[in-house]
Amino acid sequence: MWVIPAVDLKGGRAVRLREGRPEAETQYGDPVEAALRWQAEGARLLHLVDLDRALGLGDNREALLRVAEALQIPFQVGGGVRSLAALREVLSFGAVRAVVGTVAVKDRALLAAMLGEVGPERLAVALDARGLEVVVSGWQEATPLSALDLLREWAEMGVRTVIYTDVRRDGTLEGLDLEAVARVRGAWPHELIAGGGIAGPEDLRGLARLGVEGALVGKALYEGRVRLRDFLQGVS
């Protein structure tokens, strides 16, 4: 199973939000330094998110480009990718794939166009939810849609990678809700990456038991609760 450190960017800095709330922000300095640290500690893939773009507060293009130029490992980029132009721009930074969330929930025609242009290998879909209650627009807008119904629809459209984040637990270090992850796993037959509250190797072992292919890890690394190598050993 892949262990994927997350580098969220806001105002040009690496940050972590608690439960997706912009006002509950902890800063962790230069995103380039953070990205290079996780690369040096053995990460094979990084997950970069432009929070300002996701929230409609501007963008972090300059900082993302600096991170991209510094890295020697693959990375994926999400946050506010809501047009074909934004998709092309993210991939032009050198990302191995873009991550879309709001588009996949609200505009299936645009999602289909994105899949048609770049293929499922270069496009992942973010399922952001409070448990199984789907949220969009930088996690600020709730929807009445069923997460499990969406997963079935995305699979029929040709999506092959889903990134599930439990917003209730993200940035809390409270551990995963493995029951919710299990329901997502049961509804999704393709590559699944999961995160939201991961606190230690036991969470990773739980994901591995469910057959999840990747784990997004954030605050536990930044707070020094555990080293990346400890996470990697936890699923070896």
Q: Torsion angle of alpha carbons 160, 146, 16, 30, nearest 10°?
A: 30
Cβ–Cβ under 8 Å, residues 99 and 81:
yes
Query: Tell me, what's the pLDDT at 222?
Result: 87
Which domains are present in the chain?
2-234 (3.20.20.70)
Choose the catalytic residue: 59, 128, 170, 203. 128
Alpha-carbon 211 to chain mean position: 18
Q: How confident is the model at residue 131 (pLDDT cuts 50, 70, 90)?
A: confident
35 pLDDT exceeds 60? yes
Query: Tell me, what's the pLDDT at 28?
Result: 85
Percent of the chain clearing pLDDT 90 (strictly above): 74
Query: Tell me, what's the pLDDT at 37?
Result: 94
- Between CA 26 and CA 101 the distance in angstroms is 23
Q: How confident is the model at residue 229 (pLDDT cuts 50, 70, 90)?
A: confident
Higher model confidence: residue 171 or residue 115? 115
23 pLDDT exceeds 70? no
Tokens of 77: 């980029």
| pLDDT per position as a tens digit, 146-162 | 899 999 999 999 999 99
- Between CA 216 and CA 225 the distance in angstroms is 15
Tokens of 150: 């969406």
Tokens of 211: 């057959």
Q: Torsion angle of alpha carbons 137, 193, 173, 72, nearest 10°?
A: -90
Higher model confidence: residue 206 or residue 140? 206
| pLDDT per position as a tens digit, 74-100 | 999 999 999 999 999 999 999 999 999
Choose the catalytic residue: 8, 50, 59, 203. 8
What is the model's pTM?
0.93
Tokens of 225: 């609760």
19 pLDDT exceeds 60? no
Q: Which alpha helices (H) appear in 41-93, and where do they start and end?
A: 51-55, 61-70, 84-92
186 pLDDT exceeds 70? yes
Query: Tell me, what's the pLDDT at 224?
Result: 83
Question: Is 128 annotated in the active site?
Answer: yes
Tokens of 165: 């984040």
Cβ–Cβ under 8 Å, residues 7 and 35:
yes
Q: Strands 133-136, 123-130: parallel, antiparallel or unpaired by DSSP?
A: antiparallel
- Between CA 137 and CA 114 the distance in angstroms is 18
The candidate with the shortest Cα–Cα distance to 220, out of 28, 75, 23, 81, is 28
20 pLDDT exceeds 80? no
Q: 168, exposed or middle or buried, with CB in 10 Å at 0-12, 13-18, 19+?
A: middle
Give the Å distances, CA to CA, from 44 to 28, 125, 141.
21, 20, 32
End-to-end CA distance of the chain: give it in Å, rounded. 8
The DSSP-derived string for 96-125 is SEEEESHHHHH-HHHHHHHHHHH-GGGEEE
